[in-house]
Chain A
Amino acid sequence: AIQMTQSPSSLSASVGDRVTITCRTSQDISSALAWYQQKPGKAPKLLIYDASSLESGVPSRFSGSGSGTDFTLTISSLQPEDFATYYCQQFNNFLTFGGGTKVEIK
């Protein structure tokens, strides 16, 4: 099974900060990666698919990059509504999720 490692597991940031979250996979998955945002008590929301494609309706401050084994989710200017937990998910070999990165208010 493909192992997913997200880093950091949590971070503190301020409104307006640029935030970068990393997802590393244990084997090459090409671009078969998605990113989700989850707020407490709510279902995950799709942000990015195919590593860098922005889901319809998602603000352009969110972007994804990477291929192979190393991927990045970037929030260019953190907004109050962006404080949440973010998960990566690979779909190259079956389907697995990363452990999550909690973005908290500094």
Chain B
Amino acid sequence: QVQLQQWGAGLLKPSETLSLTCAVYGGSFSDYYWSWIRQPPGKGLELIGEMNLSGFGNYNPSLTSRVTISIDTSKNQFSLNLSSVTAADTAVYYCAREVSTLTYFDSWGQGTLVTVSS
């Protein structure tokens, strides 16, 4: 049974870079896409981006200029960097396993609340 465990800084100042990492335990690491999704407080869900081990993936067009998703196959981990954050980036960030490119998510991390405040 796959488990996703994520970590990263929870408090940032405007203009800083958000960095989160997600470790995958169990299951295949190579057969899926690995994704980041966020949820502003009290609001709905938004895909940030996805990536597979071959480096193929997609970013949300509204975030693509600020987002990088990378994968470390030696550690079964993947990471999110979101640059130049503002208060609008305050949200709970989730890592998730995606069955295939731009499909649905069958396993999720526990979530990390990231607050952007001066």
Q: Give A contacts to B, CB under 8 Å.
A: 34, 36, 42-46, 49, 55, 87, 89, 91, 94-100
Contact = CB atoms under 8 A, between A and B. Distances in A.
Given A43-B94, A43-B110, A97 B46 contact: yes
Given A36-B105, A46-B105, A94-B58, 17 more contacts: A43-B94, A44-B45, A44-B94, A44-B105, A45-B108, A55-B106, A87-B45, A91-B103, A91-B104, A94-B47, A94-B61, A94-B102, A96-B47, A97-B45, A97-B47, A98-B44, A99-B44
A71 B99 CA distance: 21
Nearest to A89: B104
B44 A100 contact: yes
A98 B44 CA distance: 7
A44 B58 CA distance: 21
Contacts, number: 45
Contacts of A98: 44
A43 to B, nearest CB: 4
Contacts of A91: 102-104
Interface in B85-118: 94, 96, 99, 102-106, 108-111
B12 to A, nearest CB: 21
A31 to B, nearest CB: 12
Interface residues of B, number: 18
A5 to B, nearest CB: 12
A55 B107 CA distance: 11
A45 B109 CA distance: 11
B49 to A, nearest CB: 10
A44 B104 contact: no
Contacts of A55: 106
A97 B108 contact: no
Contacts of A100: 44
A87 B37 CA distance: 14
B108 A43 contact: yes
